[in-house]
Amino acid sequence: MPSEELRFITAPDGVRLGYKLVRQGPQAPTLVMLHGLASNHSRWSEFVGNTELRRDWNLLRPDLRGHSYSMTRKTYHREHWVDDLAAVLQQEKLHNVVILGHSLGAQIAMDFALRYSTLCGGLILLDPVFPELLHGKLGKARRWRPLLWLIVRLLRLGYALGLGQREFPIRDLHALDVKTRELLKQTSASEIARLYTNPRVDLEFIPLANYLQDVLEVVRPLPDYTRITRPVRVLLSTGTSLSDHSTLEAKIARIPHSDIVPVHCNHWPMTEKPEEVREIIETTCRQWQAQL
């Protein structure tokens, strides 16, 4: 099987974008994996290392602008992430694309399917976030958007003046997952929400302005997802602590050509149920492969 390469391109505005790619060839279908808030490409390391799709699919896992190998202190929005992905697909001449996105990554995937519909053959969404349904910390962030925007603008100004330029280590989320699974054997499954939504830990790996920018993008209104024309499979955690489950199902039902596969976990299925989720993703890709 081909090895995975770390590759880079430069966006039109000068931002260097990093991504990892397992390449099969120009005719092979492509699975794109988009990570979530304050995350990076290593969210998918375990999946890429174990999936049987590696035999005949291109596997692309980018770092979103502002994260890890795509680090920048410039302002960015969801539109940048969508355009960055389109640029990578064009640069690498990747076609027949299925986009897999988790949380914020699922929001980006929906936006991409609307703006670049000819490049997208289908969406696999892991716990997509609908801003109006959020409660808890992210629900508060939605109400505090104007204040967060002001803080981000001030931080960006400081960066432009040369402040806050330290380098950040790249977080290994697979290693974190392994430790978390051991911890969850000894404590409540709900403990994962505290472990994976801890800004103090996240800020060891990402600038504060970028973290807040991620939060602001999560709580931004979504585009009109009822206009998505591609097939959509949603893997929905039954114990999610971010939104009400029944209301989420009603929102998802408004997406045309969509179906829901329940996963009995909180909001981090790749951590809590890696084998089950991998099998669902592989089955979905095989089902759709002929129509790509």
pLDDT at 206 over 90: yes
pLDDT tens-digit readout, 221-276: 999 999 999 999 999 998 766 666 778 899 999 999 999 999 988 778 999 899 99
| Residue 199 lies in domain | 4-220+228-289
Handedness of CA 35, 132, 257, 96 (dihedral sign): negative
Ordered DSSP codes for 95-114:
-SEEEEEETHHHHHHHHHHH
Query: Which CATH number is 145's domain given?
Result: 3.40.50.1820
In the chain, the number of structural domains is 1
Q: What's the whole-number average pLDDT of the chain?
A: 93
pLDDT given for residue 25 in this prediction: 81
> What does the alpha-carbon distance between residue 98 and residue 260 come to, in Å, rounded to a whole number?
17
> What does the alpha-carbon distance between residue 250 and residue 180 come to, in Å, rounded to a whole number?
31
Helix (H) / strand (E) element for 146: namely helix 145-160
pLDDT tens-digit readout, 18-67: 999 999 987 899 999 999 999 999 999 999 999 999 999 999 999 999 99
**DSSP alpha helix (H) spans, 165-255:** 173-184, 191-196, 199-202, 208-219, 245-253
